[in-house]
Amino acid sequence: MMNMNLCHPLFFKKIDNMPAIMPKNGEFLLCFKINPSQSRNIEPDPEHFLENLLFTGQKIDNDQSNEQVKLPLGHYLFSQFRSDAVLNRDEWLNLAIEQQKDGLWERNKLSDLLYIRFLYEDNAFVTQIFRKISNGVSHLRY
């Protein structure tokens, strides 16, 4: 886990659902609302951690549609996991919960939004977890 200063938003075309099989040339973004009672808990309950999916987005070059969603610029707690396969919901949810525990331990003020970005790079599937923070100094610029 590290702090990241995202200097430019990442834009995606809004879609209904992620594909059943992640394409190697695909990039996707999910945004969830976190249950407020769980978002500031050092030992959150995985069953009640997420409230609802706010949107799903797919990265498309030069897309000018009206249905855009984004990962906004700002300061984030950032975690990344690389593997031979795309992480399933339980796996990335566990990463998000561990990220929250570390972030709260470091006394960060975390937002109630969780962003999960999926992509394929350098011959591996990558899952990135973003939680916006309102305090702290960023150590990584992207």
pLDDT digits (tens, 9 = 90+) for 85-107: 999 999 999 999 999 999 999 99
The mean per-residue pLDDT over the stretch 102-120 comes to: 95
Closest-CA residue to 71 (of 39, 30, 110): 30
- The contacts of residue 27 (CB under 8 Å, 6+ apart) are 12, 58, 59, 117, 118, 119, 120
The third-level CATH classification (topology) of the domain covering 2-141 is: Multidrug-efflux Transporter 1 Regulator Bmrr; Chain A (3.20.80)
* Mean pLDDT across the chain: 91
Other residues' Cβ atoms within 10 Å of the Cβ of residue 125: 18
**pLDDT on residue 65:** 66
- Percent of the residues in the chain that have a pLDDT greater than 70, as a whole number: 92
Instruction: Please give the model's pTM, rounded to 2 decimal places.
Output: 0.90
Q: Is 72 helix (H, G, I), strand (E, B) or coil?
A: coil
